[in-house]
A and B are shown apart, each in its own frame.
Chain A
Amino acid sequence: MTVPNLKQTAKPVKPKTNWSRMDEADNFAKTVKLFRQGKYDEDSFRRFRLQHGAYGTRMTSDYAMVRIKLPAGEIYPHQFEKISQLSEQYSIGNAHFTTRESIQLHWVILEDVSEILRSLAEVGMTSREACGNTVRNVMCSPLAGVCPDEAFDSTPYALATAKFFLRNPMTQALPRKFKFTFTCCEKHGMARIVDVGLIPQTREIDGETQRGFKIFLGGGLGNKSFVGHQLEEFTPEDDLLYTSMAVIRLFDRLGDRTNLARNRLRYLVNEMGWEKFQNLVLKERAVVRATQSVITRLKVDTIPNEVRQPIRISDESGESTPDGYARWLKTNTVKQKQSSYHSVFITLEAGDITSNQLTAIADIIQDFSAEGKARTGFNQNVALRFVHEDDLVKIYSRLLRVGLAKSGALTMTAPIGCSGTTSCNLALTNSHRLAKEIQRKFLDLKLDEDGDLSGSSIKISGCPNACGQHSIATIGFFGGGARVGKDMYPNYQMSLGGRSDGSAMLGEICLRVPAKRVIPVILKIIELFKEHKKSDDTLQSWIHRVVNGNEDSQIKSLNDIKKVLEPLTIPPTKEDDPDFYLDYGSDTSYHTKTGKGECAA
């Protein structure tokens, strides 16, 4: 270990991988011109645009959304600064963190996308294959490498997988999008709700520790969601790439290319039946392994990352601990397996962040994270890892100053809301704003401090497609419209009991809740839970028991919950409560209105 040097500023950590290619920016600009001149047909252009990470925007062809993919969620300070700058130049002065560890710039003029690609290339970032029918951002748990429960750090494997498949000819025209998620452990989850989910594990063979994975296939969230199946007991690390290739080849060959609504891997697995698919994968893998003309390997870089001596400002005598610190510490930080270090989670309102805050994060990483970079998380959030425990008060003060110290990051007061009617063509409701409203209200009520609610989650999608991941939420919602006579109002289908950990299951539909009744309904559920809970119950465990029919109190089933909630959902007349008929963030009467979907995860 180096001797702490109090005056020296830490040297910036440089990314190991350059994901970009400058020529793609020029090519994009050229292609947009051809398209506008009518020399490129609409369908081909859309495929091209999506392949480069530019997604369509609600009710207009003038604007695009640019999705910047961050393999394994890794992002460096100078990259934060660049995104801050881009958000002011080409977007609406802020950026949006997604549930798949990407960052989106919305309301970008299509003709400006190439300028963004150019700037991204300057800092080694890419939006290539962030959308479209290809391998999407390869995710990795934000706690991989620091999680006390993990067998080993899966990050290098996630990065190597991303590198292998990016721009790989075999992934350029898949039947549909294809997603990998590496995680750290069973508890931190998400491995069973994706096309390929991986949890690191080890086994002992002749006294040697062998690394490998539990691989889950065919899970996924959407209009119809499925939980993935484990391929085999133990997949050794040498078989990781062959297995991935085998699954992609099968999907490429057998996937449904005609029916857009049913062409994800999970439908193929479901229609074929798991055992048959499992068999095919194992056989295909043998073929892949045997027929490589050269040895094809993942380039897994397992050289440990440098852990720098973070800057320590030793004289802080005058500074007192700011209000709210204890609450923030409890709900936003996690102890790492490395002693004395914490991971600090920054929760954003439904993933939105201003350009100034992006710049501030860059500085804060530089000053406090001993690994000199950050990770985007599963919940539209950011994790700063390797923060020394002696620095927690200081980092809290810094975050507080720039409005990034909102508590409840790891609780149900930080709901997920997809972009909804703020920019998505498919959205029926303003799920994005609803998530913000819930967060504001629940933080006011200090629900983040309630230990009984820990481990529970709220997730909201603006339509039946599951970009907001509603089906794995303890309390999930997806949007739709309902009507009283001629008058429409925004409405949500509520499901209960979803989870993505080792006991992964999809939430069960409970009832429809009008948008303006969502908050009272959630509060009523909490009230019911408090009334009927056993002493060591959490909201999650109680709902889980009810949903699975194992509860013995008065509330025994979803139907019992429904009966209690129903009175809250009865529409008032328009005269009595005109606000009921408006969606959040809108003062004009509500109508459902959608355009063509391009699949907006």
Chain B
Amino acid sequence: MCCLSGTVKITTDVDSLRSEIRDKSVRVIDVRREADYKQDHITSAVNLPLATLLSDDSPERVLKLVNSMGIDDETRVVVYDDTFGALASRVAWTLEYLGHSDVSLLETTYGNWKSLGLENDSQIPNFQSKEHSMKLQSNILATSDYLESAKTRDDVILIDNRERLNFLEQHIPGAISLPYRTLASDGKILRPKEDMKRLLENRGVTENSEIITYCGSVGTLSGLAYYALKSAGLSNAKLYVRSFKEWKNLQKPTEKQEDASYWDLSAE
């Protein structure tokens, strides 16, 4: 866990990022679609659309992408999106998994950054590619096999970050529901630390447990939850990155809330 030491901030506030950009001491990654990025982005940011990453997120490929963005082991990285932090989290987690320790999420979304009138342009920055090492952090990854055996342990908490209706309809047995919307507050992608701690503590999610998060398909919503846990000081967390989609494809057992027509209560 050395590289996940508490010195790295989970989120970076707007002012810190601005001064880091001015000092050229940070690599900013914009994970939105290429077309959106080309229109405008935070000054000096590089583009890594989440879809590009997900098309092949094997460590070898990720290493190449990281190198091509001019990131080595020492580079400070800040990731942002315009999707309440979920896509940025998935990219940040991937970097962390590769062994990159100094990665934070921008505390707000690009839309909010822009509406505050902060620095943005359409210039595509030039930089040299670098050499990053590969030290896979398997302690932050949960595979389906791992999950299946871990689930039976009393000290493991499994968190489902999809919306409540989806959870009621179907979920991994034993999971608790913590919809991703619960994690944010007032223009920030994550609640203040004390708020987050209180919420999690009420739900029995405490530091005595190992916590595994999952969501619908690619680990974005649950990636955000992974960082929410860390922000509350719960560092023993893993992301089940292939999430419910894989679980279902593997035809592993699922559970549903029986005897209630909750869908008919929805106004959709």
Contacts and interface: CB of A to CB of B under 8 A. Distances in A.
Interface of A: 29, 32-33, 57-60, 88-94, 96, 106-107, 109, 111-112, 114-115, 348-349, 352-354, 357, 419-423, 430, 432-433, 436, 583-586, 593
Contacts of A93: 163-165, 266, 268
B165 A115 contact: no
B90 to A, nearest CB: 21
Given A58-B259, A91-B164, A111 B265 contact: no
Nearest to A119: B185
Given A89-B181, A89-B182, A433 B262 contact: no
Contacts of B261: 420-422, 430, 432-433, 583, 585-586
Given A92-B163, A92-B266, A59 B181 contact: no
Nearest to A417: B264
A299 B179 CA distance: 43
Main secondary structure of the interface of A (DSSP, over half): mixed
A586 to B, nearest CB: 6
Given A106-B265, A419-B265, A422-B262, A115 B168 contact: no
Contacts of B266: 92-94, 352, 354
A422 B182 contact: no
Contacts of B259: 58-59, 421, 593
B42 to A, nearest CB: 27
Contact of B268 (A88, A112, A354): A354
A166 B164 CA distance: 32
A90 B164 CA distance: 8
A107 B202 contact: no
Contacts of A432: 261, 264-265
A109 B177 contact: yes
11 contacts: A32-B202, A60-B260, A90-B179, A90-B182, A92-B165, A92-B168, A94-B265, A112-B182, A419-B265, A423-B265, A432-B265
B267 to A, nearest CB: 4
A94 B179 contact: no
Contacts of B198: 29, 115
Given A111-B204, A115-B199, A348 B258 contact: no
B263 A107 contact: no
A422 B182 CA distance: 23
B203 A109 contact: yes
Interface of B: 163-165, 168, 176-177, 179, 181-182, 198-199, 202-204, 257-268
A92 B265 contact: yes
A593 B259 CA distance: 8
Contacts of A115: 198-199, 202
A111 B203 CA distance: 6
Contacts of B182: 89-90, 112
Contacts of B265: 92, 94, 96, 106-107, 352, 419, 422-423, 432
A88 B180 CA distance: 9
A583 B203 CA distance: 35
A23 to B, nearest CB: 15
B179 A89 contact: yes
A114 B264 contact: no
A354 B266 CA distance: 7
Contacts of B267: 94, 348-349, 352-354, 357
A580 B18 CA distance: 65
Nearest to A593: B259
Contact of A422 (B163, B176, B203, B260): B260
Q: Which of A58, A92, A433 has the most C-beta atoms of chain B within 10 angstroms of its own C-beta? A: A92
Contacts of A423: 260, 262, 265
Given A60-B260, A92-B164, A422-B260, 16 more contacts: A29-B198, A88-B163, A92-B163, A93-B165, A109-B177, A111-B204, A112-B203, A115-B198, A115-B199, A422-B263, A422-B264, A430-B264, A432-B265, A433-B264, A583-B261, A585-B261
A57 B265 CA distance: 13
Contacts of B204: 111
Contacts of A32: 202
B206 to A, nearest CB: 12
Nearest to A584: B264
Contacts of A33: 202
Q: Which of B163, B176, B179, B202 has the most C-beta atoms of chain A within 10 angstroms of its own C-beta? A: B202
Contacts of A88: 163, 179, 181
